[in-house]
Every structure is written in structure tokens, then in C-alpha cells.
Amino acid sequence: MNVVISVLSCTCIASFASYFLKKSSSTDNKLKILLSPWFYLGGILYVISACINIYLLQLVPYAVAMPLGSLTYVWTMFVSNRLLGEAITKKKIIGMLVIFAGVVCVAAGH
């Protein structure tokens, strides 16, 4: 159960970290990006995600933990749809299903 919770929290947090970095990049002005609270929130979330990933690496082999991290792409699709209004296309859904299938295969082999 610790593995499932770790994978889900690590990948969800990484997805939101990317969202906040995207939010901070709404300008070409590098100084405004560096002064944006979204930039720092994204960075902090990435560090938290990395710490959870380190814990996950203690629980499962590296060859299992890293592929499980691909779930970040699935959550990112939903975050980008809900918070940025980006479309979820048929190709994205197929890609998501392929990622899920890969995660299931890797996890089942562990």
C-alpha cells in the first residue's frame, strides 16, 4: 500500500509542479518569472515529489520505480484540461491507455 500511495502522490505532485511552472512562464521577462510565487511553488512541489520518489526507490527496484513515474503524464493531461482548458484528444486518450498498460505490466512483474 505504501508503494501505491507513494506513486500516486509523487506523480500527482509532479504534475501540479509543472502546472505552476507553466503558470509562472506567462511572460518573456525573466525577472518576472523569478519573482513569481508560482515559480517557487512549482519548485517546492518538485522537491517534495523528488523526496517521495527517493522513498519509493527504497521500496521497489529502480527498474520498477522509474516507469511508474510515467503516470505523471496522465495526471498532467487532466490538470492541463481542467486548469488550462487544453483539449483531451483521442490520441491523448490512446497514449494514456498505453501508459496505464505499461505501468500495469511493470508493476505486475514486480
**Which residue's entry shows cell 511552472?**
21
pLDDT digits 0-9 by tens, 14-24: 999 999 999 99
- Whether 110 has a pLDDT exceeding 80, the answer reads no
Neighbours of 7 (CB within 10 A): 23
Alpha-carbon distance of 9 to 52, in angstroms, equals 8
Domains contained in the chain, number: 1
Alpha-carbon distance of 10 to 16, in angstroms, equals 10
pTM given for the model: 0.89
- 56, exposed or middle or buried, with CB in 10 Å at 0-12, 13-18, 19+? buried
Work out the pLDDT band at 109, boundaries 50, 70, 90.
confident
As given in the structure block, the three cell numbers for residue 84 are 488550462
Structural domain including 33 reads: 2-108
DSSP 3-state percent helix, strand, coil across the chain (nearest 5): 85, 0, 15
